[in-house]
Amino acid sequence: MRPLLLATTILFLAAPAAALAQPATAAMAESPADAELAAFFDAYDKASLARSPLGQSYRGIKTDQDKWDDNSDAEDVRRHELGQQALAEMRARFATAPLSPASRLSYRLFEKQMARRDSSFRYRGYDYVFDQMNGAQSRYPAFLINIHRVTSKADAEAYAARLERLGAALDQDIAESETRAKAGVLPPKWVFPFVISDARNTLTGAPFDGSGSDSPLLADFKAKVGKLDLPTAEKDALIARATAALKTSVQPAYERLIAAMTRQEAMAGTVDGVWRFKEGAAFYQANLASYTTTDMTAEQIHKLGLEQVARIHGEMMGIARATGFKGDLKAFLAFMRDNKSFVLPEGEAGKAEYLRRANAFLDELRPKLPQYFANLPKAPVVVKAVEPFREKSAGKAFYQSPAEDGSRPGTVYVNLYSMADMPTIEIEPLIYHEGLPGHHLERANSTELKNVPAFRKFGGFTAYSEGWGLYTEKLAKEMGQYQDPYNDFGRLQLELHRAIRLVVDSGIHAKRWSREQAVQYLLDNSAEPAGGIQKAVERYAVYPGQATAYMVGRLKIFELREKARAALGDKFDIRAFHDVVLKTGAVPLDVLEENVDAWIAATR
């Protein structure tokens, strides 16, 4: 899975407690050394962005918006070398410098980040270039549609130029996938039909066929150009250029991709776990360490999952009894899974109703936020359905951060390809997790932090971010939401889903479970619709370790909150606790614990 923002995807590690007690938003330039370190980080950020046109677009920078990133392995090596060189320079210049606590924290985070990159770099060849979750086949169209802004003629010309260059970019990805295939790194056989379907969907419509409607990219380009204040002749010329690029660059490359995926599908096996790779066990353990920022083994992850599944099952039975259900847990799970009253109709009317309800829950919760949060982000959040060209393969729901300059809101995407897989009882927890008070509050807050290096503002950290999202699903209940007990079951259902992930992810990649075993475990232990179960297991197969971070992070945040409540008694303030969690941006769980401990000590 090749990230679009390699140069700015950050994995954070620990920093000294003395530094962590300081607010991350404190002014960095407290001394000449602080100013020099800030300038060093700024220069590193600019150098990294210069190598990533896509990273620039995500940040609202239009310098190279007519280009794509270089995704070759040689460029990956060069980026890695630049990071290690920057680390050596930072140590040489600032190791003994008189830095403020806030600057020393940034120093330590950068140092540990580079160490983590270095330790995982050897496994880069085990990622899949094309898969149903993060594959290049859908990332390129999604990027153009959702990220590439068109507010001027120059922007439209850059979009057309990217279409002209998309063929070469996709060919580079195809070549890398072929190299990995020869080394034995292929996704499971069932992945390939999804990739091929995405590719064919991209080529469906004008100018590729006579279906009567525009293809996703042409429709997007026309819509964006149509909003420009330009003479009709200039708009027509731009559309003609984009149309030609779609025919001469995009279509041939996607046809080459389909051919390559068809060849690789014939070579692929049916085993899902990464244990099948030469260093698969070490690769999986490295992923667990990276995503959870703990030293937990696969066996410990598996055991934790089983414990959490049992706990949540008990809470589910409480709801069963409260609603008057007389049967056992298995019967209640079947009743909830098969109840058609929890499913909206397929088609546009059902999709519109789903989006209406999602927005209504956000509107209901917003006025309560100031009671629980001292600082709220400025960026708005919107809810959208996943685009049709990628909805068959995309995940259930996901969040896209806002642009720093305010040009793009935070966006919650919900996948409404199959309404049967998106039961209404899950709308509340899903929208709280992805929107407010979940990812939007957390990531928009991080984007809006002042006086911290860019690698901290825009970096990602899964256990922190997804742990926060899962934490807020329960927090919303404490805020008075989930008045319908069945919606509260939906909350527990999603929490159970994250507990099951610990069992199934480690089962597939460490215990050598088959996909059928994983599916059966979900069927036996949850009320998740069959289609949703299938999609979830397919996600874990191609994204080893990532799904384990949710529950690990959630448990740590709740543990720290209750630790603070017990220690502070009447002095405990939920708004202050949330400020401590959020004010630093993404940090690993041990750093978060040190932050909370320092706050407890200061408050006492």
For 400-424, write each residue's pLDDT tens digit. Answer: 999 888 889 999 999 999 999 999 9
β-bridge partners, 384: 413
Are 120 and 97 members of one domain? yes
pTM listed for this prediction: 0.90
Do 333 and 479 fall within a single domain?
yes
Give me the pLDDT at residue 193, please: 97
The pLDDT value recorded for residue 24 is 37
Residue 384 inside a domain? The answer is yes
Task: For 371-405, write each residue's pLDDT tens digit.
Answer: 999 999 999 999 999 999 889 878 899 999 998 88
Residues 69-112: tens digit of each pLDDT:
999 999 999 999 999 999 999 999 999 999 998 898 889 889 87
Q: Are residues 473 and 351 in the same domain?
A: yes
- Do the domain assignments include residue 576? no
**Residue 5: pLDDT over 60:** no
Domain boundary among 536, 556, 576: 556
Q: Is residue 589 part of a domain?
A: no
pLDDT category, 149, cuts 50, 70, 90?
very high
Number of domains making up the chain: 3
278-287 mean pLDDT: 96
Same domain? 468 vs 384:
yes
What is the torsional sign of CA 146, 147, 152, 158?
Answer: negative
Whether 592 is in a domain gets the answer no
Please give the Cα distance from 563 to 595 (Å, whole number).
Answer: 13
Average pLDDT score over residue span 328-341: 96
Q: Which residue is associated with the tokens 């990133």? A: 69
Confirm whether 276 is domain-assigned: no
Please tell me the number of Cα atoms within 13 Å of 467 on its side-chain side. Answer: 27
Compute the distance between CA of residue 544 and CA of residue 541 in angstroms, rounded to an integer.
Answer: 6
Does residue 310 sit in the same domain as residue 266?
no
- The residue out of 107, 126, 145 marking a domain boundary is 126
Question: Looking at the domain assignment, is residue 561 inside a domain?
Answer: no
Q: Are residues 164 and 259 in the same domain?
A: yes
Same domain flag for 87 and 188: no
Measured CA to CA in angstroms, residue 268 lies from 33, 181, 185, 245, 491 at distances of 54, 9, 9, 33, 38
For helices 32-50 and 73-94, angle between their N-to-C axes, nearest 10 degrees: 170
Residue 459 — very low, low, confident or very high, per pLDDT cuts 50/70/90?
confident
Q: Exposed, middle or buried, 250 (CB in 10 Å: 0-12/13-18/19+)? A: buried
| 277 located within any domain | no
Q: Name the amino acid, one letter, at 266.
A: A
Degrees to nearest 5, angle at CA 532 with 530 and 536: 120
Q: What is the mean pLDDT of the chain?
A: 92
* 153 vs 22: CA distance, rounded Å: 46
Non-local CB neighbours of 425 within 8 Å, separated by 6+ positions: 336, 342, 484, 486, 487, 489, 490, 493
- Among the listed residues 248, 137, 129, the one whose alpha carbon sits nearest the alpha carbon of residue 197: 137
Q: Which of 103, 126, 149 is the last residue of a domain?
A: 126
- pLDDT of 449: 87
Same domain, 343 and 470: yes
Q: Place 15 in a pLDDT band, splitting at 50, 70 and 90.
A: very low
At residue 210, the pLDDT reads 81
How far, in whole angstroms, is CA 77 from its chain's centroid?
Answer: 24
- Find the domain containing 254 and state its range: 127-270
Both 261 and 310 in a single domain?
no
Q: Which of 292-301, 441-450, 467-476 has the lowest mean pLDDT?
A: 441-450
Asked, for residue 569, whether it belongs to a domain, the answer is no
96 burial via Cβ count (<10 Å: 0-12, 13-18, 19+): exposed
Residue 30: what pLDDT? Answer: 73
Residue of higher predicted confidence among 15 and 232 = 232
Q: What is the pLDDT of residue 558?
A: 98
Q: What is the DSSP letter of 206?
A: B
First to last CA, the chain: 46
Q: How confident is the model at residue 561 (pLDDT cuts 50, 70, 90)?
A: very high
Tell the burial category of 324 from Cβ atoms under 10 Å away from its Cβ (0-12, 13-18, 19+). exposed
pLDDT tens for each residue of 214-246: 999 999 999 999 999 999 999 999 999 999 999
Residues 111 and 166 in one domain: no
DSSP state of 24: T
Same domain, 526 and 502: yes
Percent of the chain with pLDDT over 70: 95
More confident position, 283 or 449: 283
Share of the chain above pLDDT 90, in %: 84
**pLDDT tens, position by position, 115-137:** 878 888 999 999 999 999 889 99
One domain for residues 100 and 227:
no
